[in-house]
Chain A
Amino acid sequence: MSTEAIAVEKPKRNYNVLFGLTLLALLVLLWIVLSVATPSFASGNNLANLLRQGSMIAIMAVGQTFVIITGGIDLSVGAVVGFATVVVAMMINAGFPIWLAILVTLLVGVAIGMFHGFGIVKMGLPPFIITLATLTSLRGIGLLMTNGNSININSDTFTAFSRNSFIGIPNLFWMVILVGIPAYVFLHHSRWGRYLFSVGSNAEASRLSGVNVQRTIYMAYTLSGLCAAFVGVLLAARIGIGNPTQAEGWELQAIASSVIGGTSLFGAVGSVHGPLLGAFILATINNGANLLNVNSFWQRIITGALIIIIVYFDGLRRRGK
Chain B
Amino acid sequence: MTSTAQELHPAPVLAPGRTILELRGLEKRYPGTHALKPVNLAFKSGEIHAIVGENGAGKSTLIKLLTGVMPRTSGEVIWEGQPAALATPHEAMALGINAVHQEVVLCRHLTVAANMFLGEENSRFGILQQRAMVKDAQKIIDDLGFDLPAHVTLGDLTIGQQQLIAAARATVRGTKFLIFDEPTAYLTRKEADQLFTLIRRLKGEGVTIIYISHRMEEVFELADRVSVLRDGTLVGTRNIAETNDAELVKMMINRSIEQVYHKEHFTPGAPILEARNLSGKGFEDVSMTVRAGEIVGLYGLIGAGRSEFVTTLYGRHRKSAGQILWEGKEVQINSEHDAIKLGMALAPESRRDQGLCLNLSVGLNLNLPIYKRISNNLLISSAQEKTQADRQIADLRIKTPTRGALASSLSGGNQQKIVIGKWLAHGAKLFIFDEPTVGVDVGTKAEIYRLFGALLSKGAGIILISSYLPEVYELADTLHVFRRGKLVATHGFRAASHEDILTQALAEKQEKLGGQI
Instruction: Mark A residues whose CB is within 8 Å of B.
Output: 1-2, 5, 8-9, 11-13, 185, 189-191, 194-195, 197-198, 201-202, 204-212, 268-269, 321
B390 x A1 contact (CB < 8 A): yes
Chain A binding site: helix, strand, loop or mixed by DSSP?
helix
Contact residue among B358, B379, B402 (Cβ-Cβ distance under 8 Å from A185): B379
Most chain-B Cβ atoms within 10 A of its Cβ — which of A13, A202, A210? A210
Q: Is B258 an interface residue (CB 8 A)?
A: no
> When the two chains form their complex, are residues B369 and A210 in contact, meaning their CB atoms are under 8 A apart?
yes
Is A209 touching B403 in the complex (CB atoms < 8 A)? no
Q: Known contacts being A1-B394, A210-B369, is A8 close to B364, with CB within 8 Å? A: no
In the assembled complex, the CB of A280 is this many whole angstroms from the nearest CB of chain B, namely 28
The answer to whether A211 touches B390 (Cβ under 8 A) is no
CB neighbours (8 Å) of A195 from chain B are 371
> Does B372 sit at the interface, judged by CB under 8 A?
yes
Q: Is B16 an interface residue (CB 8 A)?
A: no
B336 x A210 contact (CB < 8 A): yes
Minimum distance in angstroms from B415 CB to a CB of chain A: 11
A-B contact count (CB 8 A): 92
CA gap between A235 and B380 in the complex, in Å: 35
Hey, which chain B residues are within 8 Å of A190, CB to CB?
A: 375, 378-380
B371→A268 contact, CB < 8 A? no
> Distance in Å from the Cβ of B418 to the closest Cβ of chain A?
10
Q: Assuming the A-B contacts A209-B368, A209-B369, A211-B368, are A268 and B357 also in contact, with contact meaning beta carbons closer than 8 angstroms in the complex?
A: yes
Smallest Cβ distance from A239 to chain B, in angstroms?
A: 36
Give the chain B neighbours of A189 by CB distance below 8 A. 379-380, 382
Instruction: Give A264's nearest chain B residue, CB to CB.
Output: B359
CB neighbours of B269 from chain A (8 A): none
The reply to whether A9 and B404 form a contact with Cβ atoms under 8 Å apart is: yes
Residues of B within 8 Å of A202, CB to CB, are: 353, 356-358
Question: Which B residues, 354 to 377, have Cβ-Cβ distances below 8 Å to chain A?
Answer: 354-361, 364, 367-369, 371-372, 375
A205/B403 contact (C-beta < 8 A), A191-B380, A194-B364, A210-B340 known: no
The chain A residue with its CB closest to the CB of B426 is A210
Q: How far is the CB of B496 from chain A (nearest CB, A)?
A: 32
Size of the chain B interface, CB-CB below 8 angstroms? 39
Among B348, B355, B368, B380, the one with the most A-chain Cβ atoms within 10 Å of its Cβ is: B368
**Residues of B participating in the A interface, judged by any CB pair closer than 8 Å:** 31-32, 314, 316, 336-337, 340, 346, 348, 353-361, 364, 367-369, 371-372, 375, 378-380, 382, 386-387, 390, 393-394, 401-404, 422
Contact present for B380 and A5 (CB under 8 Å):
no
Chain A residues within an 8 Å CB radius of B354:
204-205, 208
Q: Give chain A residues whose Cβ lies under 8 Å from the Cβ of B32.
A: 8, 11
Closest chain A CB from B426 CB (angstroms): 8
Contact of A269 among B359, B378, B382 (CB under 8 A): B359
Choose from B314, B346, B357, B382 the contact partner of A201 (Cβ within 8 Å).
Answer: B357
Instruction: Known A209-B369, A210-B369; judge A268-B379 contact (CB<8 A).
Output: no
A194 to B340, CA, bound (A): 19
- Contact for A205 among B357, B371, B404, CB less than 8 A: B357
Q: Please give, as numbers and ranges, the residues of chain A lying within 8 Å of B348 by CB-CB distance.
A: 205, 208
In the complex the two chains form, what is the Cα distance from A205 to B393 in whole Å? 19
Contacts of B402 in A (CB 8 A): 5, 8-9, 12
* Residues of chain A lying within 8 A (CB to CB) of residue B357: 197-198, 201-202, 205-206, 268
| A201-B354 Cα distance, complex, nearest whole Å | 11
Q: Which residues of B contact A208 (CB under 8 A)?
A: 314, 316, 336, 346, 348, 354-355
Evaluate contact between A205 and B355: CB separation under 8 angstroms.
Answer: yes
The answer to whether A210 and B337 have CB atoms under 8 Å apart is: yes
By a CB distance below 8 angstroms, the chain B residues around A2 are 386-387, 390
B422, A201: Cβ atoms closer than 8 Å: no
Q: How far is the CA of A206 from the CA of B348 in the complex (A)?
A: 12
Sorted nearest first, the 6 A-B pairs with minimum C-beta distance are A201-B357, A191-B371, A8-B402, A209-B368, A210-B340, A12-B404
A213, closest chain B residue (CB): B336
CB-contact partner of B359 in A9, A207, A209, A268, under 8 A: A268
> B432 to chain A: closest CB distance in Å?
10
Contacts of A194 in B (CB 8 A): 364, 367-368, 371, 380
Could you write out 16 A-B pairs with CB less than 8 Å apart? A2-B387, A8-B401, A8-B402, A12-B361, A12-B402, A185-B379, A189-B380, A191-B375, A197-B357, A198-B357, A198-B364, A201-B357, A202-B356, A205-B368, A207-B316, A321-B31
CA distance A92 to B393 in the complex (A): 58
Contact of A197 among B364, B387, B422 (CB under 8 A): B364
